[in-house]
Amino acid sequence: MNLEALDGRLLFAIPKKGRLHEKCLQLLSGADIQFRRPQRLDVCLVMNHPIALIFLPAADIPSFVGNGNVDLGITGHDVILEACMQDSVTEVLRLGFGKCSLQVQVPERGSVTAVEDLAGKRIVTSFEVLAGEFFNKIDDQLNLVADQRTKIQYIGGSVEAACALGLADGIVDLVESGDTMRAAGLRAISTVLETEAVLIKSNSSSRPDLTSLINLIGNRIAGVVAAEKFVVCSYNISRDALPLAVQITPGRRAPTISPLDQDGWVDVSSMVLKKDSAKVMDELVKIGAQDILIFAIDNCRV
C-alpha cells in the first residue's frame, strides 16, 4: 500500500489474532466501519470514513496508542497495565468482552495454599510487570531482602506448562473458564487483576482535528456494546400496578408508558439488562403483568 494513502486518516489499532480479534471485527461491522483486508496485510483503509485500521498483536497496541503512533485502539485492560501505558492512554469505553482474570496458580496437589508460601520462590509468567508488582508487595510485607525475594521469569506462551516442567513453583496467567488451568493440573490461589477489552485513545495525539471522528466512532461502538448488553421488555399492566412495574423496569432513563385501548391498562416498554431478563419477567408476572415480550436490540445509541 502507498503510505501516502494514510495521510490525514485516523489510525485505529485492532488485535490481529487471538481472543479479541473476532469480537473486534463484529464491533467494527456493527459500527458500520467498512473495509476489505487483503490477505496478510496489516494496514487497510476504511472505505466509508477517513480511517485506516492497523492490525497488531493485542499486547503491542497500548504502546502504539500511548506513544501517539496510532490514535485509537482496542486491547485488553491487562496489557495496558503490563505495558505501563495507563498514563499515556485514556480508556474511553469498556467493551464487555475479553473478560478474564490474571491469577496466581499453583500445582493442585502441591503444598502451597497462599501467595505468601510462594514468596522467595520461582514464578513464570507472560505478565512480568504485573506479577513483579504483586510479589514485590508480598516480599516487602515479609521483609525479604535481595536473593530471598521472589524470582519472576518471563516466557511468551504456554505458561501453564512451567510448573510441570520444573521451571516454576507457581505461575501468573489469565483464566476465563479455568479449563486451561485445570487441564494443566493447576489451581488459582489469588487474583492479581480483573480485565476486559477496552477502547483506548492516545493522550499524546497532536491531531485535534480527529476529535469529532473519535467521538463518532466511540458513540457508535458504545451503541453496539449497549445493544449486546440490553434487551427491550414490553408488557401490559393495570394502572394500579404501574408504580410497582416501574420499580421492576425503571429503564435507562425512564420507561415508555402508552395507554391501551382498554380502560385502566397501559403498555410499558423499557430497556433491561439481558442477563436479568428472566428474573424481570418473573417479577412482572407476580404483579399481574400480561403479554410480556422481550426484543433483542440490533443497534442503538445511548
- Cα separation, 188 vs 160, in Å, equals 12
Tell me how many residues contact ligand ATP (CB under 6 A).
15
Contact between residue 51 and residue 210 where contact means Cβ atoms under 8 Å apart = no
Instruction: Rule CB under 6 A: say whether 174 interacts with ligand PRP.
Output: yes
Instruction: Rule CB under 6 A: say whether 178 interacts with ligand PRP.
Output: yes
Supply the Cα-derived Rg of the chain in whole angstroms: 24
Q: What are phi and psi of 167, to 5 degrees?
A: -85, -25
Instruction: Rule CB under 6 A: say whether 180 interacts with ligand PRP.
Output: yes
Q: Which of 4, 7, 87, 179 binds ligand PRP (CB under 6 A)?
A: 179
| Residue 100 cell numbers, joined | 478474564
Pick one of ligand ATP, ligand PRP, none as the site partner of residue 17 (Cβ within 5 to 8 A by kind). Answer: ligand ATP
Q: Which of 8, 18, 57, 288 binds ligand PRP (CB under 6 A)?
A: 18
Looking at beta carbons only, is 123 or 197 nearer to ligand ATP? 197
Find the shortest distance in angstroms from Cβ 166 to ligand PRP.
19
Find the shortest distance in angstroms from Cβ 97 to ligand PRP.
13
Instruction: Rule CB under 6 A: say whether 252 interacts with ligand ATP.
Output: no
Instruction: Rule CB under 6 A: say whether 76 interacts with ligand ATP.
Output: yes
Burial class (CB in 10 A: 0-12, 13-18, 19+), 97: middle
- Cα separation, 3 vs 171, in Å, equals 42
Contact between residue 52 and residue 44 where contact means Cβ atoms under 8 Å apart = yes
Find the shortest distance in angstroms from Cβ 183 to ligand PRP.
8
Helices marked H in 67-158 — which ranges? 77-82, 115-118, 128-141
Looking at beta carbons only, is 174 or 233 nearer to ligand ATP? 174
Instruction: Rule CB under 6 A: say whether 177 interacts with ligand PRP.
Output: yes
| Residue 127 cell numbers, joined | 505478565
CB-based burial, 107-135: b 16+ in 10 Å, e otherwise: beeeebeebeebbbebbbbbbbebbeebb
Instruction: Please list every residue from 141 through 160 that binds ligand PRP, using CB under 6 A.
Output: 157, 160
Instruction: Rule CB under 6 A: say whether 82 interacts with ligand PRP.
Output: no
Instruction: Rule CB under 6 A: say whether 289 interacts with ligand PRP.
Output: no
Looking at beta carbons only, is 18 or 259 nearer to ligand PRP? 18
Instruction: Rule CB under 6 A: say whether 9 interacts with ligand PRP.
Output: no
Q: Which amino acid makes up residue 24?
A: C
Burial class (CB in 10 A: 0-12, 13-18, 19+), 179: exposed
Instruction: Rule CB under 6 A: say whether 18 interacts with ligand ATP.
Output: yes
Contact between residue 227 and residue 299 where contact means Cβ atoms under 8 Å apart = yes
- Whose CA is closest to 67, among 109, 13, 122, 129? 13
Contact between residue 128 and residue 59 where contact means Cβ atoms under 8 Å apart = no
Instruction: Please list every residue from 144 through 203 that binds ligand ATP, using CB under 6 A.
Output: 174, 176, 195
Pick one of ligand PRP, ligand ATP, none as the site partner of residue 71 (Cβ within 5 to 8 A by kind). Answer: none
Pick one of ligand PRP, ligand ATP, none as the site partner of residue 178 (Cβ within 5 to 8 A by kind). Answer: ligand PRP
Looking at beta carbons only, is 57 or 259 nearer to ligand ATP? 57
- How many other β-carbons are positioned within 10 Å of the β-carbon of residue 223? 17
Positions that interact with ligand PRP (CB under 6 A): 18-19, 157, 160, 173-181
Positions that interact with ligand ATP (CB under 6 A): 17-20, 57-58, 76, 78-79, 98-100, 174, 176, 195
